[in-house]
Amino acid sequence: MAESLIKVKNLVKYFPIKSGVLQRVTGYVKAVDDVSFEIARGKTMGLVGESGCGKTTIGRTILRLYEATSGTVEYDNLNLFDVSRSELRKLRPQIQMIFQDPYSSLSPRMPVGEIIGEAVREHRIVPPDQYRSYIIETMEQCGLQKHQIDRYPHEFSGGQRQRICIARAIALKPRFIVADEPVSALDVSIQAQIINLMTDLQNEMDLTYLFISHDLSVVEHISDFVGVMYLGDLVEYGSRDRIFAKPLHPYTKALFSAVPVPDPARKMSRIILEGDIPSPANPPSGCKFHTRCPMRMPICSEEIPQTITYPNGHQVACHLYTKDQPEAGDTDES
């Protein structure tokens, strides 16, 4: 495995719940609860799970758009939580984010050239005399036309707006990008174009992605590694091929069973989860998934499962598996 560019260790992010006239803290929303993973240079990690499981919070906390409750995030062996505001500002061009809704993340009062170039000018990415030509080059690299540089966001389609967001991110010559559901608001045909664009840019610029999505088919297409989130916990992690070929956690199996198969002759064996997702402000004891798990055991409601790591790198946090069961992880390399 290539050297890791991003190392997330025991990341915790709690949001305080305040009530009363004095706005006293009466509890916490446990959005991210002790999550660890690594992303190799030039690779893509897909992060999947139901809405509200903490995917977006992880991405924003890694970039310090949210301040972490505890834990560390290392970028190129530098702890991002230890650097000062001024040092973080110098690092900003290297760590960028593509947001879910391209329209709301673009200023309606600025033309495209200014939207893409504002941070380029601020961080002095290129000399002033090369500024306009650089913006045009970046636009064309993302599938936009030169004559569109003076147009405003409302004059573009949804797919074109997302291309503008991508151009704004790569104009700063980043090394790491958090893509927060960048294709969920787009038509399927446009989704394919944006995914192919992101893949091409990754190959050209040696980019590293954290790709957050709830669409498993998209994650399977673009990711090298996959992490599965449930209620603030990372319940399973591994290479894309391992996760999709042999999911271990009951929650992962339920997610994958819901993916449509384009074969009318193949019978779907859908796993229906009972109950609703518990509140992250008051999660269940033990394994957070035990209230909905079809394979739950008495221990599941009493003890938090430890993360088991198999020799092939496949990780799972579930009481169904132990370190003494190597066959559960299928240790043969693929």
Instruction: Walk across the sheet containing 44-48 and list its strands.
Output: 95-98, 176-180, 208-212, 44-48, 225-230, 233-239, 315-317, 307-309
185-229 pLDDT tens trace: 788 888 999 999 999 999 999 999 999 998 888 999 999 999 999
Give all strands (DSSP E) within 115-207, no chain letters: 176-180
Mean pLDDT on 47-73: 94
Phi-psi region of 315 (alpha: psi -120 to 50; beta: other; left: phi over 0): beta
Distance CA 164, CA 275 (A): 41
| pLDDT of 288 strictly over 60 | yes
Phi, then psi, of 308 in degrees rounded to 5: -95, 130
Tokens at residue 111, please?
């033309």
Distance CA 332, CA 294 (A): 28
Collapsing DSSP to helix, strand or coil, 172 comes out as: coil
Mean pLDDT on 120-136: 95
Helix axes 112-122, 158-170, angle to 10 degrees: 20
| pLDDT of 308 strictly over 50 | yes
Q: What is the pTM of this model?
A: 0.90
The angle formed by the CA atoms of residues 44, 103 and 105, to the nearest 5 degrees, is: 65
Q: What percent of the chain has pLDDT over 70?
A: 93
Distance CA 95, CA 178 (A): 8
